[in-house]
Chain A
Amino acid sequence: MPVDSFQYLPRLIATFYQMTEHEPEHPIPWTPLPRPISECKFSLVTSGGIYHKDIDPPFDLDRERNQPTWGDPSYRALPINISQTEIGVSHLHLNTEDVLQDMNILLPIQPFQELVEAGKVGALAEHAYSFMGFQGYPPDTTEWQNTYAPEVAGKMKTEGVDCVFLTPA
């Protein structure tokens, strides 16, 4: 059965989504897999608002509280050996309790380390990247597209990444 995108949305939020217009941009880009995934290096990216507690600032939720139509477009680089107790989560649109208990539901560092050990995945990049998914209403992803995604892509190139595994919140 196809996944119903609105199954878990209260009617009000579903209406928000359905009223958001977006023109699909063609063509959809395509980079063929360069080699079997057992030889590929992966970078993990989430939009769960995860950040490195006490090292990096949280996402700017104060500004969002003052200006509800705005969402912080910046990102945080997370060292791949970061532990559960070192993460914070800033996201006003989610109950963050579960991800604070186990970040792997949004940023699967541990399962990927196990896949690397098992030889099913080639390698894991030195950093994972975290964004905060709410990009304002109506959504404005200009900063993501023009500034932050190219910046992260540059860092991934430096780290020799082949594949990006994305998990939105």
Chain B
Amino acid sequence: MPVLARSFEKAGFSTILVTPMPYWAEMVGTPRTLAIAFPFGHTLGRPGDEKLQHSVISEALDVLENADSTGTIVHSEKTWPQNTQEAIKSWQPEEPSPIIAELAPKFREMLRQRNQPK
């Protein structure tokens, strides 16, 4: 999605990206980013939590309004109200995605080899 932010910015719009993955935003190079430590699929908060959604949006709009140079990444202080292991489990699909199902065995083998003592 950082690629889309760049495309729209280039087309003449002022963009703000809210993302749990500033790593990717930085690697691709996005104009204005609010990084937030929320699980995937929950960029603006929990379902039904209007207060939290408004609060994240408000932080993002502050970045949009106040960033004075391109490549600005602001890290939100907000934390997710669920422990990390539960959150990792709950955002993922019940069945692994097709690419994970296909590549997981290869990656596991690769990680196994990498972790073997030299």
Contacts and interface: CB of A to CB of B under 8 A. Distances in A.
Given A93-B97, A111-B53, A12 B41 contact: no
Given A27-B70, A68-B99, A93-B97, A144 B4 contact: yes
Interface string A1-15: 111111111111101
Contacts of B8: 45, 149, 152-153, 156, 164, 166
Contact of B9 (A6, A30, A111, A157): A30
A92 B94 CA distance: 9
A104 B90 CA distance: 18
Interface of A is mostly: loop
A15 B15 contact: no
Contacts of A81: none
Contacts of A131: 1, 4
B6 A29 contact: yes
Interface residues of B, number: 77
Contacts of A34: 14
A111 B28 CA distance: 29
A43 B42 CA distance: 19
A31 B61 CA distance: 15
A25 to B, nearest CB: 6
Contacts of A32: 14
A38 B68 CA distance: 18
B4 A166 contact: yes
B1 A105 contact: no
Given A2-B35, A92-B97, A106 B43 contact: yes
B93 A94 contact: yes
Interface string A88-120: 000111111011011011101011101100001
Contact of B107 (A16, A26, A33, A134): A16
Given A96-B41, A98-B47, A111-B53, A31 B103 contact: no
Interface of A: 1-13, 15-17, 22, 24-34, 36-37, 40, 43, 45, 47-48, 64-65, 68-69, 91-96, 98-99, 101-102, 104-106, 108, 110-112, 114-115, 120-121, 131, 133-134, 136-137, 141, 144-145, 149-150, 152-153, 156-157, 161-169
15 contacts: A3-B75, A8-B20, A24-B26, A25-B28, A28-B30, A31-B9, A101-B47, A104-B47, A105-B45, A111-B50, A121-B61, A133-B1, A165-B64, A166-B17, A169-B40
